[in-house]
Structure 1
């Protein structure tokens, strides 16, 4: 009979337990971070500059040593079984650091060999084709544009066929077209079972791609939630009502409603929870009409993930 606990453990690609990082200067970059990242998901880690995103990724990838806590990658301890974990993980760093004088093909071959993988020209060719780099395979990296160099970094990270891929600000400084190309590639990798952890400053990127979202602030992971659940819990809807003629103030009979009157008296904003349906709008409009308040236009909107993120990081610690 299957063991549910065993199955649950197998479903976790990265397990982070009580991880902290304090530098020699005394600066505490991470504070008791606990996080499980599911196998085959796209997890977006959001936070302002200096929040600890890159430090956390660097610890999991073995670049920075944690001051406390443990990390398992695909069930292996990243310290005691570092050879096994390094081969499971691919990293696309935030900074553009490539082998400037090498060709695209040779740097991919070298990256694959670093992890003890047997040569596989067919795999490397497929990676380059997926990233629209095949026609650049013999070009020296120094001759490529910034966007193409970013693609090479992703190709290097995929050369050894990792099951866990970290993307640290992968689309920083690239144009919109390339950003959308990368989104398509990331989704394709997820479809093949790759676990993807993404840090980004582009909230639309997380809103477009992520299955779950974590928010980190001042070294603390303050929230982890499924994207849709997060937007339902913390979001709100607004109905903007343009009036036929201005009013000086709201009638007392409407004081029980979440209504805000504009300074010019020409519009009302009605706010309600995203978990509630829209059935309250018709009664609202009837109540306005009964008070002699007629309207000429309606416009509804929802809180975006960006609004939620800003609210979370600005909230008092």
Structure 2
């Protein structure tokens, strides 16, 4: 008598997983089993994404010729849509409010909260410039912090300043960047992981692990926190051209720029207060001022060919934003 093999013996592991998943009708339960089978964790996905970034980032040299480095920042998409960076005025910059447990992202597996001083779009400029430097294989070194791999920039101050303020930064900019590094170093994220509707783990991490400015050697050293890089960057990230962003004059236009680029579709439509909340505008001010600030930001993005002329208030309260298809393409190189 011929012995027949059971499906468990004859099937490959992947086939067996698929058979079990297809037998489950409840979508939520099916998703749960998918996670169990794949044995995915936040840390594992983060490391995979970090590894993909290592392989895909541009370099200064390219086989067959020289290629100018394009300063592109891989900004976590969650930080583009709900951001801890505010278009704040000078009075608020002098006296920083403290933000605690600001929810950046929330899902079935957990949430990410921001905790720290109220950060401005200038500190965001500095963070994006750092990420852009680390996005270049020739401008970073690999190191470890708390036993985890991360990246360090070690070199002169000028490349960072150039990304923020152009080829001729003044002495005041050195002080401003130094202050921004202090604020980023004391600002952090709390990653909360749920299991069975209960908190399983919490990861507390600041954005920067280390920053040093040697006044004698004139060398700057910045290390990105590995938890921020690996765990937070594990999700989708939005590529933002630094030069394009720095051409925008107002803080609101920079906030709108990151918001527009973070969406998959080229068109967004909604209430101006919804957009204002996403841009971290002060919603307690007169609606007239909110509208004016958004209108001016839209004008700047149209001027820089990021939005089309279709972008405008289509009624008193509803805004339509239409991103140019090529606006996210990486075209311009950093001039030497």
Larger % of helix: which? Answer: 2
Which TM-score band (shorter chain)?
A: under 0.3
Q: Which has the larger radius of gyration?
A: 1
